[in-house]
Structure 1
């Protein structure tokens, strides 16, 4: 990409050490991979996943999927505005249609994204060809390039491999919060032998391992790299938080001066602190946490 490209990134993203006694007293170093600084509007893994899909679209309109608080929908809408591409967001929850838009969906609409709401049953079957075709017709998006929910497909996974490559030799464990699994799938493929990737799912259900494996098979032909998941830190599911998580995030912000995004990054950091206290990381190990986003104003 040239410097005049509105999607031009700042890469590699910074890798910063933070001194936190909850890690240091166990002999563990904590690094923050600041992917939130890649691009002012396509933040973190959204840039890494969306740009390969935009290149594959070759100027076609974009249609994608997400819930009412989807970071991916916001990033797609922003990319459409920056590039002058029409975008359509298929939003889970027909009951939301006609209601005032929340701050996240309002931002999508302000960026020119056309929003199309579908009932939750239809949404669950959106990957089935007949259902997808019906949704596209109803949304007026026939012929558009389809980016899956969360942006996770083979193109996105291959794009996220660069994240792992940037971290080669820099940490023993690289941890990332997971929604649809594409970032973890690519990250693990880019790491060196001897490094491992750890995913912290923000949705409950325990289904993500199969998704990550399938994404790697589509992108690379086989499971690649060393990775694992810890499902304990979803705090009730996507877009769910608790007072304990809020208190934790506020404390981390005060300790380190880092604005902590609540739906992904806070859960990741909470999980890593818990694992350090449990002795999951051997003394002398270095853990890198990928900061995939930043707080959304008014969200």
Structure 2
């Protein structure tokens, strides 16, 4: 269902003045719309919906959710209707940001709810009400993270990735991608996650999906919290893109790369460490003019 629309995934090794090897796996290139990790997280969810004869997909997300945008396109492409339950009822009266505009353009019905209602998104009774309200619907959790998503994200690392790298780095939102990477990683590898959110609650979420302990998570580069930015982050993002011609976005991948570069400069990684960074896409939500944004901060 998904494999026939996948594009080849390129690798780019960056020239650095440090004694480590840094390679980026460009998952953002796997598909122009179902970008990055979302390709793998949605794959088995939509296959299950198709096998069950369902006609609609309903999911949850914030205003900057890459998952919302990717789900909208994938649902339309494979013949499903889609509904997005969006955190923040005040957004209903505001101009849509690029991520939500993308989702709406691909046919997703956007339902803006209060933060109090949004907090019910994991509650059995609330989900049962939604299922009753929307029959013939596959309900996919926030960020797409469930057992089917992790089945998909375990396919991100190839056999060569397992053999040729010592450290795997990725951005972390809901934990589904890093959980799949941990589960599929080799015993000698360290999986290092860079949280886009402030706080250590994600550690408990990740531990629900894996018993392995060859991983670590840091929120030191979240820049104050989810979707928040700093002048340092935007400056890094601009300079990185100019030097390496690899686009980033400010919610996830720029924060991860800021962290990776900082750790390299601190000599956190031993000499000759082979680092593989997973570019998880989400570029539809990137700030288009980082220079002008810098002037506003």
**For residues 42 and 190 of structure 1, what CA distance do their matches in structure 2 show?**
22
1:15 to 11, 16, 20: 11
In the superposition, the TM-score normalised over structure 2's length comes to: 0.90
Unaligned runs of 5+ in 1: 217-222
Q: Give the alignment of 1:1-299 within 5 angstroms.
A: 1=1, 5=4, 8-11=5-8, 13-21=9-17, 24=18, 27-58=19-50, 59-60=53-54, 61-135=56-130, 140-166=133-159, 167-216=161-210, 223-224=211-212, 226-296=214-284, 299=287
CA shift, 1:101, in A, is 2.1
**For residues 2 and 298 of structure 1, what CA distance do their matches in structure 2 show?**
25
Q: Is the 8 A contact 1:262 1:295 kept in 2?
A: no
Distance change >3 Å, CA 298–CA 224, structure 1 → 2: closer
Q: Is the 8 A contact 2:172 2:252 kept in 1?
A: yes
**For residues 2 and 84 of structure 2, what CA distance do their matches in structure 1 show?**
28
CA shift, 1:224, in A, is 3.1
Q: Is the 8 A contact 2:250 2:286 kept in 1?
A: no
The count of residues paired between Structure 1 and Structure 2 equals 283
Deviation string 1:196-226 (CA, Å, 9 cap, x unpaired) is 111000011211111011123xxxxxx1361
**For residues 99 and 85 of structure 2, what CA distance do their matches in structure 1 show?**
14
**For residues 285 and 298 of structure 1, what CA distance do their matches in structure 2 show?**
30
**For residues 232 and 225 of structure 1, what CA distance do their matches in structure 2 show?**
20
Secondary structure of 1:175's counterpart equals: strand
Tell which deviates more after alignment, 117-126 or 144-153: 117-126
**For residues 2 and 66 of structure 2, what CA distance do their matches in structure 1 show?**
26
**For residues 285 and 148 of structure 2, what CA distance do their matches in structure 1 show?**
30
In the superposition, the TM-score normalised over structure 1's length comes to: 0.89
**For residues 260 and 62 of structure 2, what CA distance do their matches in structure 1 show?**
26
Q: Report the aligned-residue RMSD.
A: 1.8
Secondary structure of 1:69's counterpart equals: coil
Secondary structure of 1:43's counterpart equals: coil
**For residues 96 and 163 of structure 1, what CA distance do their matches in structure 2 show?**
34
CA shift, 1:162, in A, is 1.3
Tell which deviates more after alignment, 281-290 or 158-167: 158-167
CA shift, 1:294, in A, is 4.9
**For residues 176 and 210 of structure 1, what CA distance do their matches in structure 2 show?**
17
> Could you tell me which residue of structure 2 aligns to residue 220 of structure 1?
none
CA shift, 1:284, in A, is 1.1
CA shift, 1:290, in A, is 0.5
